[in-house]
Structure 1
Amino acid sequence: MAQTHHVVVALESFFVPVPALDLPAPHTYELQEHSRTRADQVAERIRDADILISTVVPIGADVLHPAVSPRLKMVAIVASGTDSVDLEACRARGIVVTNTPHCNTVAVAEHAVALYFAARRSVVLSHALVQSGEWPKKGTLQEALDGPDGKPPKTCRGETLGIVGYGAVGKIVESMARGLGMKVLISGRKGSSTAPEGRTPFETLIRESSVIVLCLPRSPESLDLISDAELASMKPHAVLVNVSRGLIVDEEALVAALRSGRIAGYATDVYAREPASAENSPLVGPETAGLNLITTPHVAWSAEDTNDKFHRALKENIAGWLSTGQPKYPVV
């Protein structure tokens, strides 16, 4: 590679600070760092970029056109998901794309278990009732923990946890759940009446699980994976946890299921539209008051350990590409 000095543009260092890059000699770099970048600011900011570092801001074919980003040679994504980048446009131009997989798996799995406990024990709902002064009025708020079937919450040893998405996060969730004494089911593909050995058909898992954790990637096949039919098949004391991506759960159907008592609780870290608000999400706003609904702002990945791993993977991707042409975690 003849070029030895590189302009590195980081569009979203708010999420993960950019580490000092250890480039192999004789390569040098200058960093143009932006805390946050809106979609309408991308084109201007990457015009002189040789290497682009991003997380979730859309990098579409329009800004990947040679007239807009003529020097761009590498897009380094600080995340596992690559759906924010037009991979075909990068492939057509020969732009290298990398990601940083498996850096946040422990944090996401732990967050999933935390969401389970919060939903099963109605933590947020109970908190709201206490803060609004309902405890002295009623004498007890024990019923806030009851499921739609009128029964008090299960303990872990009485739970059957179904995992949909058996990647790195799913495997850690499985280990944690078994350690808590839960029975664990691993889902097969939706629509298939059979499943590989060790798996449970999707529809069976939906019917038999008292807790369902979604930790699968978003794809055309997984859109609206959980909608009216699945919610109607769940046990009335079922708790659903989503740490995957928005659009995998039909949010309006989910709220209707909570309101009608078809399921006991929903806890999510992801949304169809983000940042979620009362203006763009049925999961947010005063109309959800009184529901056993836990919403966290897409932060399951966040941990000191995650950042350390992101830094290491990012540096290895860039250094590997410059030294051998092969990044450690290539996507395109």
Structure 2
Amino acid sequence: MANPGEFKHHVVQLDGHIDLPPLRFPHTFEKHLSTSPSELSSRIASATIAIATTTSFTKASFTHAPSLQLISCLGAGCDKFDLHAAKEAGVTVTNTPAQNTSTVAEHALSLYFAVKRKIVELDVFTKEGEKWSKQGMSVMEFRGVMPRVCEEETVGIIGYGALGKRVEKMCKALDMNVLIAERKGSSTTRPGRTSFEQVLRTSTTLFLTCPLDPSTHNMLSHHELTLLSPTSILINVGRGGIVNELALATALKEGKLGGAGTDVFEHEPATKENCPLLAGDVPNLVCTPHLAWFSDRTVVGTKECVRDTIEAFVRGEPANIVVDGRRGQ
């Protein structure tokens, strides 16, 4: 229990369905399942610590939070936060790394198999209840493109952090050939890497497992997608905005890409109004609503990691730092 007059942090969880374990320092706490831009300023007005993952912090946001010291991100990616503005405002930003790596990698492979084996279309075909008996074998659902088996795949991975490495391990276990892409535009190629454009030209399936930052925004657009084989598959479990969505929708509609699966979108929640991929006429596309992270292991690990990260900051021993906003740092 805090002594009279003892400083108490005001902790505000701005979004997320995760219930954190009790923080072991004097504080007050409030939780919101989501926070809109119009609600943000009032909710952080007296906050010293904010917990968020999908709530956007712009430069203007920090002017409404004079007491804010820390933003603790519930995930690994902090692309919703203006990190330069946080630094200028003296706000430290931390993340929650490596808690969902296995889960997201499994989801990436799930999307791959769903696209390749037409799982969604064949589920609809079967449950319709009439087509099977009328048409016999439903190979027509593959539209003349016979799927490859895993041993025939050359997988390209763009983004070779913990997630990319996990996807690599799983693909190799399935006897796929794996190429790790060098950074786009790099003049040199590191040992064990393949040039960015060569990966695009060679891959039969491409996994995007990189974060979103200025160097990866629209990294794959119309030109890059033309380098892929018209029978290749693109899977994005990195971040929305890495692939130009209009370019991807166009490539799929024009038959210049075999299929795609994505769990992430440039604007979330994605709607038909803000996402060309959801227009209704985009074929060979499997989408999920940014839930690749969800598993029991992820939730338990995230709870513990966020609590430990916040408590370390309060002790003056910050961990998992993305931006160190402490003066003099």
Q: Does the pair score TM above 0.5?
A: yes
Cross-structure match for 1:42? 40
CA-CA distance at 1:89 after TM superposition: 2.8
Cross-structure match for 1:158? 152
Cross-structure match for 1:103? 99
CA-CA distance at 1:284 after TM superposition: 1.0
Q: Is the 8 A contact 1:74 1:96 kept in 2?
A: yes
Q: How does 1:167-206 map to 2 (within 5 A)?
A: 167-192=161-186, 194-206=188-200
Which whole-Å CA distance do the structure 1 matches of 2:120 and 2:166 have between them?
25
Q: Is the 8 A contact 2:20 2:307 kept in 1?
A: no
- How far does the alpha carbon of each residue in 1:285-325 deviate from its partner, in whole angstroms, 9 at most, with x for none? 4323xx111000011111111111211211111211222x1
Q: Is the 8 A contact 1:120 1:145 kept in 2?
A: no
CA-CA distance at 1:141 after TM superposition: 1.5
- How far does the alpha carbon of each residue in 1:40-99 deviate from its partner, in whole angstroms, 9 at most, with x for none? 10111112212111111112222311xx22322222111111222222332223222211
Which consecutive residues of structure 1, in runs of 5 or more, have no partner in the other structure? Answer: none
Identity in percent: 38
CA-CA distance at 1:193 after TM superposition: 6.1
Rate the CA distance shift 1:84–1:151 in 2: closer, same or farther, 3 A: closer
2:22 aligned with 1:20: yes
Which whole-Å CA distance do the structure 1 matches of 2:236 and 2:219 have between them?
11
Cross-structure match for 1:29? 27
Which whole-Å CA distance do the structure 2 matches of 1:157 and 1:135 have between them?
30
Name the amino acid aligned to 2:75.
A
2:61 to 43, 60, 63: 63
Name the amino acid aligned to 1:32.
E
Find the residue that maps to 2:308 and give its secondary structure.
helix
Cross-structure match for 2:327? none
Find the residue that maps to 1:75 and give its secondary structure.
strand
2:306 aligned with 1:299: no
Alpha-carbon RMSD across the aligned residues, in angstroms, is 1.8
Which whole-Å CA distance do the structure 1 matches of 2:125 and 2:271 have between them?
22
Find the residue that maps to 2:278 and give its secondary structure.
coil
Name the amino acid aligned to 1:309.
G
Find the residue that maps to 1:256 and give its secondary structure.
helix
1:75 to 71, 89, 99: 71
Cross-structure match for 1:126? 122
Q: Is the 8 A contact 1:7 1:51 kept in 2?
A: yes
Find the residue that maps to 1:283 and give its secondary structure.
helix
Find the residue that maps to 1:63 and give its secondary structure.
helix
Aligned residues: 318
- How far does the alpha carbon of each residue in 1:85-136 deviate from its partner, in whole angstroms, 9 at most, with x for none? 2223322232222111111111111110111101111111222333444333
Q: Which moved more, 1:167-176 or 1:196-205?
A: 196-205
1:231 to 225, 228, 248: 225
Which whole-Å CA distance do the structure 2 matches of 1:7 and 1:193 have between them?
48
2:14 to 8, 11, 14: 11
Q: Is the 8 A contact 1:10 1:18 kept in 2?
A: no
TM-score (norm 2): 0.91
CA-CA distance at 1:266 after TM superposition: 0.4
Which whole-Å CA distance do the structure 2 matches of 1:82 and 1:3 have between them?
32
Which whole-Å CA distance do the structure 2 matches of 1:77 and 1:100 have between them?
6
CA-CA distance at 1:214 after TM superposition: 0.4
CA-CA distance at 1:194 after TM superposition: 4.5
Runs of 4+ that moved beyond 6 A: none
Name the amino acid aligned to 1:51.
I
Find the residue that maps to 2:235 and give its secondary structure.
strand
